[in-house]
Amino acid sequence: MAFELPKLGYAYDALEPHIDARTMEIHHTKHHQGYTNNLNAAIEGTDLKGKTIENILINLDMSNAAVRNNGGGFYNHSLFWNVMKPDGKGSLTGELKDAIITAYGSVDAFKDAFSKAAATRFGSGWAWLCVHKGGKVEVCSSPNQDNPLMPGVGCGGTPILGIDVWEHAYYLNYQNRRPDYITAFFNVINWNEVERRYAEAK
């Protein structure tokens, strides 16, 4: 079965004023659709067809640029849409909050670390909150459409929260003000979904 562009659980304008509707529509229907189409083309006729995207990325041959770039783009954006919600959803609580405080000392210190990882990623890429087996969490970043599921990328572990810092994710609204976009992102995080992913991955 071919990969399909996932539907959003909210309207394109639902994240305004933090992320504008035009950016969301272009990002979803053009960029993510492009990664989806190109991933399907890259795996057609290979033994990768029929495997889950996670299985493909964990066992990825990093020299396969078509699968690396488009498989990463497909996975990263699929996570990105799901960890956002209009005006956020829920608050950071429970075991995930405890793990973040254990790792970073406080929630604010975690936010600073995550924001720094996103702001200082040179050029295009992503910042991540990942969980390792046993529940330890760690912030890191990766270039282009790479992610920590891939061999040797970032901090390893399973991404449970990610922010896209490619310019196409924010330029219409924020231009060169990436830090303002990163700050706005915290207003739309779906913590219920992030906590679900934490419980599943740890």
CA distances from residue 62 to 12, 59, 68, 171 in whole angstroms, order as listed = 33, 9, 6, 29
Closest listed residue to residue 186, CA positions, set 132, 110, 130: 110
Flag whether 61 is marked binding: no
Q: Is 87 annotated as a binding residue?
A: no
Is 32 annotated among the ligand-binding residues?
A: no
132 assigned ligand-binding residue: no
Q: Indicate if the alpha-carbon torsion angle 130, 132, 138, 140 is positive or negative.
A: negative
Which residues sit in the known binding site for Mn(2+)?
27, 77, 164, 168
Residues of each annotated binding site: 27, 77, 164, 168
